[in-house]
Structure 1
Amino acid sequence: MEKIHDMQPNAEQYACVVDLLARGGRVREAYSLVTKMPIEANASLWGSLLGACKIHHEVELGRIVASHLFKIKADDIGNYIVLSNLYAADARWDGVMEVRKMMKNKDLKKPEGCSWIEVERKHNIFVAGDCSHPHRSIIYNTLSTLDQQIKDICN
């Protein structure tokens, strides 16, 4: 862009190139580009790179990328979970424990899982571990029946 069109790339254009390199498995090249950019990388760009490190099992690079990311956005639990999952996929349990300790020290908690369904224009919300739904017994009995039918078909 600079040589042919005499244009300086902006942050969004750099982010696109970094993302393309990272998705293509060229994670180290993407990291190199980020560190050499004439503009400061934002949390979105570092987060994208951390996700690519997880996909391509670049544990050590992921640790470095996460350290940059945590300096910019220390309160986003999703980034900690990605790093923890990166360590877990490589059976680095000490790293998993370190990340969990960091999350605890920062009082970061994963949000509860939540699902909902609309039946006859009424919203039914289900939160992980919540047993307060008024039709809970009917729902669980139906799920149990469906589960058994699936198992019967597969066997």
Structure 2
Amino acid sequence: MKPSMEQYACIVDLLARGGRVKEAFTFVNQMPVAANNANIWGTLLGACKTYHEVDIGRVVAGHLSKMETIDIGNYVVLSNLYAADARWDGVLEMRKLMKLTNLKKPAGCSWIEVGRRKNVFVAGDYFHPNRNMIYNMLSNLDKQIKDICKSP
């Protein structure tokens, strides 16, 4: 049986999730078929961020960029990887690349259904009809949490 690219991706994912990033990287480079799948390299890049493998992350990002993928998430992960390692020049480089390629990260969004009515919340959105009540409640909860943490 000849493994599919998805099966190779699963092995990479399992190794990466187990913290064996270098082993996963070696596995990808020694596969009998070229790793031309953005999922494989994207999975590996995410693991590099989780386990602070900046140097491997740079190489992985290079492979992703050769595939001409326009997934903003890869740029954000690499930028965060650089930031976690205090490599601010790398962060700036990623931001410049995102700007040059006109890629923008979509705003974070969450929703909750209350009384059969869906309430959508988007980061930076100030148009929710109950905005003041929501932010007052969040402020009160934040204060309560801080008070609990201060008490002995």
C-alpha change, 1:145 and 1:73, in structure 2 (3 Å) is same
Are 1:102 and 2:97 an aligned pair?
yes
Are 1:49 and 2:44 an aligned pair?
yes
Larger of the two Rg values belongs to structure = 1
Are 1:21 and 2:21 an aligned pair?
no
1:73 CA displacement: 4.4
- Find the partner of 1:61 among 56, 60, 63: 56
1:98-153, CA deviations, whole angstroms, 9 ceiling, x for partnerless residues?
A: 01111110111111122222121111111122111112222222222233333333
Gaps of 5+ in 1: 1-6
1:24-55, CA deviations, whole angstroms, 9 ceiling, x for partnerless residues?
A: 33322222221222223200001111111112
Larger CA deviation: 99-108 vs 68-77: 68-77
After superposition, the CA RMSD in angstroms is 1.7
TM (norm. structure 1) is 0.86
- Find the partner of 1:139 among 134, 148, 152: 134
What is residue 34 of structure 1 aligned with on the other side?
28
Specify the code of the residue in structure 2 equivalent to 1:26.
R
User: Identity across aligned pairs (percent)?
Assistant: 68
Q: Counterpart of 2:98 in 1: which secondary structure?
A: helix
1:64 CA displacement: 0.6
- Contact 1:43 / 1:73 at 8 angstroms: preserved in 2? no
C-alpha change, 1:154 and 1:60, in structure 2 (3 Å) is closer
In 2, Cα distance between the equivalents of 1:115 and 1:20? 29
Specify the code of the residue in structure 2 equivalent to 1:123.
K
Larger CA deviation: 111-120 vs 96-105: 111-120
